[in-house]
Each structure stands twice: as C-alpha cells, then as structure tokens.
Amino acid sequence: MRRFEVGIRDANDEELTRISEGMGLSLSLEEMQRLKRYFAAKEREPTDVELQSIAQAWSEHCCYKSSKNVLQKFIFGIEAPQNMLVIKEDAGVLEFDKDHAYVFAFESHNHPSAIEPYGGAATGIGGIVRDVICMGAQPIALIDPLFFGPLDYGYDKLPAEVKHPRFLFNGVVAGISDYGNRIGIPTCAGMVYFDEGYVGNCVVNVGCVGIMKKADLSRSMAKQGEVLVLVGGKTGRDGIHGVTFASVELTGEEEFRSAVQLGDPITKEPLMHAILEANGKRLISGMKDFGGGGLSCAVNEMCHAGGCGAEIHLERVKLKEEGLSAWEIWVSESQERFLIAVEPDNVDELLAVFDKWDVDAVAIG
C-alpha cells in the first residue's frame, strides 16, 4: 500500500498554509511551522499518513487544545468516593453497589448536526453508545439536551449559508429517535431550548447510561504481544476529517458534508451483543471504539496506555469501496467499529463469537 512524501521542509509560510488547507489538516500556520522544524531535524519529509495522523491528534476534538487548561483546573481534579474510573477512559465508571457499576458518557455533536442534522445527530447517539459499550457495559438509556434558534425565525434574518432552525430541529429529532429505536435503547430524559444565540450553530448534546458487573470492566489499552482485531462495520470515505472539521469555524459550506459519518444502527445492534458476549467470556483484554480519528487515534491511544507500539496491516481492513489510500483507511471515521486487544490464544474463539452474530472481525496487527 503506497504512501507519499509531502515536501514541507523547504516550504514557506504561504505554502505551509496551502498544504494544511489542501490536505484538510485544519492545522494553524504555527502548528505547520512546528512540524516543519521537527522533520527538518529528522532530515526527512513526512508521509501523507504521518501528517494526517498528527492532524487528527492535534485537533480540537481529540486534544481539547482550547479547553484543556479550564478542564484541568476545574474538572479533572474532582474526587468522589463512588469514582472508579473517570476522565481517563472513554466513559466514566462509578460504583452502583457491591457487585455492579454504572457507566456514563456525555458529549456534543454540534458541527455535524449543523451540516447534516439527521446524520449528525444519529452518529452522535451511535458514538456515545460505543463509549459505554467499550467499558464492558450494557447501554440502557439515552439523554439528549438540545439547543436551537427559534423555530419561527424569519428567513429574511437568517445568515447566508446557515440552515433554518426548524430544518435542523426536525432532522436532529428524527436522527436521535430513529437510531435509538433501531438499537433498542430508549431516550429517557433531555430538554429542548430555543434562543437566537443558537441560530448560527445548534448545540446537540448526547448522553448514555449503562450498567455492568464490576468484573466485566474493560480498559482501553493494548499490551505487548496481544493481537489487535477490528470488528464491526466496513471502512469507507465517510467521516474522513471529521475531527479536523470540528476544529474549524462553521461556514455552512456543503464541502464538509462528507466529514459527517454515516450511522448504521442495524450493524450496531448485533455488534453490541457480540462484544458483550465476548467480554463476558473473558476473551477481550482491552477495547476502544472508533470515534474521532479512526484507526489513527484508536491504535495510538490503546498502545500508549499499554506502554507498547503496534504494527498495523492496513491491507487487511475490510473496505466499503476499492481504491482507498493508506491515509484514508488510517483516519476514516466510518461508524460501528471497535478495536479489540486479545491474547493470541483467544483470537479464534473471539472471531467465532463475531461470526455467530454475523459481524465482520479481522486481525489487523
């Protein structure tokens, strides 16, 4: 599988900006200059895969570069007696009773919903459910606080390229209800608030609660010698640059529509059951869902947590269509996918579980 070098060592500031925009990196000039200095010191040019991977990791969605200091000051240090795992994993794990824990995850899906409200809201539900599942919990309830501009907002006052609040409202509500109904998880709470301040960018919050036995807790890490197995949906071009798109200011341009992932609740439902069965059989050593950044983030975060590296065979990844470049496979955010770390002796039994549920599973590294 071919990779391409990108010449940045001799690029001037204008060329660096053009490279970032042309490749969809959404990196600032200062960040591109930092990359230029790094690879100049290495005496080589970066590959397209490397630049795309760095852009995912440095995106607002993945590293919270604008809000990190505030979160560290006011949120990350909070301690409570019921806390088991908070902040460090995909979802918070808190004690319920002596044998059980409940898992809670909450996030926003604003940019995707403002561009494609049905798909943006639906994949917001899909992503938050995956966060709960990958801790080893059974999702049981959804919560959705939503914020829009007034539904009777005058079209004559609507800014150019901004979709009308009623269009956004109808699409978001339909996306949430359709996805949740098809995976059998009810929306039990939420709120809707209307204000002119949300005309330019609606706020679509999604939350999920799950329950689990404490013994079923799974960590998002991989250790040396384990096999990495990709399970769930196939990989395509949908959702590419989703996290870098979330780091830029919305303009309403339709070119960003491909950055919105395509949810597939019909695949998610058996995938959820297969994962919970495999975890109950102690076949899973660690797992992480494919959210922002796709493989580039899932592999890096799991291996970093486990103190190891990984060798990934992208040619083994099952694709929705032929012709994807290496970097596209590496950063695709196609939905309904998990990365599972498994001991070599358990690989065959794990694959058999997913085959029984008619869910794709393949060892990729």
Catalytic residues: 61, 109
Dihedral (CA of 18, 47, 295, 104) sign: negative
Give the number of other CB atoms < 10 A from CB of residue 66. Answer: 9
Return the DSSP state at 47.
Answer: B
b/e map 309-320, b = 16+ CB within 10 Å: ebebebeebebe
8 A C-beta contact, residue 126 and residue 338? no
Handedness of CA 317, 222, 77, 80 (dihedral sign): positive
3-state SS of the chain: helix, strand, coil percent to 5?
A: 45, 20, 40
Residue bearing tokens 């979330």: 246
Backbone angles phi, psi at 40, to 5 degrees: -65, -40
Nearest residue to 122 via CA among 193, 174, 184: 174
DSSP H helices in the chain: 13-22, 29-42, 48-57, 60-63, 68-74, 110-115, 117-133, 165-183, 242-245, 265-280, 294-306, 326-331, 347-356
CB 214 within 8 A of CB 137: no
DSSP 200-222: SS-EEEEEEEEEEEGGG---S--
